[in-house]
A and B are shown apart, each in its own frame.
Chain A
């Protein structure tokens, strides 16, 4: 075999491997998509070709599953969590980015570290406290604990964005007589807006997919979508077609959001360790 043939062969092998990777990545997702549009009978027959139906999507919103209320809870909790976290994180991120603070590194490491604390450790005292305060199975309770997982990401991510905005514009405005708060409002916020939106979407995905807190703190009224998946069990076993329909409702909006911010995904999750 000459050099050119060898190179062509190697190219073909690579393409083959890429195809295998695509297959492995897509298989579980496609499988869920197919099952969601299958009738109850077809799910158990492994058909690739079948008469698609939308009835699963109707059933999941009816009694006893009531996915609508879980959808509302998930959206509400994720939205309010983000609405609280982003302004608070932005203020802190600006300060960390532009000033030298006493104990700054200690604070930043602590914030980073809280992200790595196992969620089970955090949730035990919250369960006891919420039980005493009557906050179990409420959306308010869920929002409070969700802040714990979202805040560190938000602060680190937004700090990264603000670090990237040149200081000179701000300094020029200050020389012209603007106050610091005016500078933040008129210069920093508009320039950081895409970054804030990105961080907001990122945190929304995390809050939406959150499972352990919702599992422990809710049981009926404040149930979220991921925990609601457990409802699709009948005496004869899992109701796969309904589970899949619910699965699509959970994952498709997150796919759209994740694709929208894909450039920043890596930076966000590694908290700036990799850009």
Chain B
């Protein structure tokens, strides 16, 4: 067989799979978003009502804006905090040696853990009666003992952010350690010989060199923060009330619990739009590298 035919035959199965499992459902969701789309009403999946689902979300559903707000704050906080903490931890661990390499190995664990399980374990730890956190605070800061973390809107949100940070900082640290390894050693040493302070070396030499990796980290984390579902579902299930209801959770509830699949699809598509920009930004870094 000639290479010219073969090369297309080789990609064909993958293209078919990606089309069937990703492109088609994406397009079908777009179609559904313009229908009445109720799961319990046969035929309503083909009854079109124009932009009504979208205008409903924008003008008649405070719960939608609540989910947008929760997702936005959640994304901003988790991206900023995980990036900062990962940067710090990467600087701390990058020099290597037995202890530091050992910790680098430990960093794999949180990321191999199912996010649903992370949600469960944090619910466990923040249990007001016998959680690890309660025991810890009871010891260190007695006034904080016995707080029902997950019953308070702000605290529950904070716990969700903490669980996210716990799950993501280790992985992003590994990414950044990989980035730090590619910063030329002699440039740093030259700056040190010139008498630059550690902070100056970091700001003027390390950070600019690390910028592309840092951008990758921030974009990747933003995408996964925007999509957050598993942990929230297991940790607070959006509660108390709707205090921790992210967009993914809101879509799940409207589509699956209330059977409003058309409406859920419209909100889902509103969520796709920021993803397109982020993916575009991400793709630029991937191709620069390849």
**What residues make up the interface of A, taking CB atoms closer than 8 Å to B?**
14-15, 17-18, 21-22, 24-29, 31-32, 35, 43-46, 85, 88-89, 91-92, 94-96, 98-99, 101, 105, 107, 109-114, 116-128, 131, 144-145, 147-148, 151-152, 155, 163, 179-181, 205, 208-209, 211-212, 215-216, 225-227, 229-230, 238, 240, 243-244, 247, 250-251, 254-255, 257-259, 262, 265-266, 269-275
Contact = CB atoms under 8 A, between A and B. Distances in A.
A131 B1 CA distance: 42
Contact of A116 (B216, B247, B282): B282
Contact of B114 (A35, A128, A226): A226
B76 to A, nearest CB: 18
Interface in B148-177: 166, 170-171, 174-175
B264 interface: yes
Contact of B234 (A119, A151, A229, A262): A229
Contacts of B118: 28
Interface residues of B, number: 95
Contacts of A147: 17, 21
Contact of B26 (A28, A32, A88, A121): A121
Given A28-B121, A124-B261, A209 B114 contact: yes
B25 A26 contact: no
A259 B116 CA distance: 20
A136 B45 CA distance: 18
Given A18-B92, A18-B93, A151-B14, A44 B25 contact: no
A119 B28 contact: no
Contacts, number: 282
A180 B6 contact: yes
B25 A25 contact: no
Interface of B: 1, 3, 6-8, 10-11, 13-15, 17-18, 21-26, 28-29, 32, 39, 45, 89, 92-93, 99-100, 103, 105-118, 120-125, 127, 129-130, 132, 135, 166, 170-171, 174-175, 178-179, 213, 216, 220, 223, 226-227, 229-230, 233-234, 247-248, 251-252, 255-256, 261, 264-265, 268-269, 271-272, 275-276, 278-279, 282-283, 285-287, 289-290
A27 to B, nearest CB: 6
A124 B171 CA distance: 30
Nearest to B182: A275
Contacts of B6: 95, 180-181
A227 B116 contact: yes
B272 to A, nearest CB: 6
- Chain B contact surface mostly: helix
Nearest to A227: B116
A107 B15 contact: yes
A118 B132 contact: no
A49 to B, nearest CB: 14
A117 B111 CA distance: 20
Contacts of B105: 259, 262
B112 A255 contact: yes
B261 A128 contact: yes
A274 B109 contact: no
Contact of A272 (B10, B120, B275, B289): B289
A35 B248 CA distance: 31
Contacts of A227: 116
Contact of B223 (A22, A116, A131, A211): A116
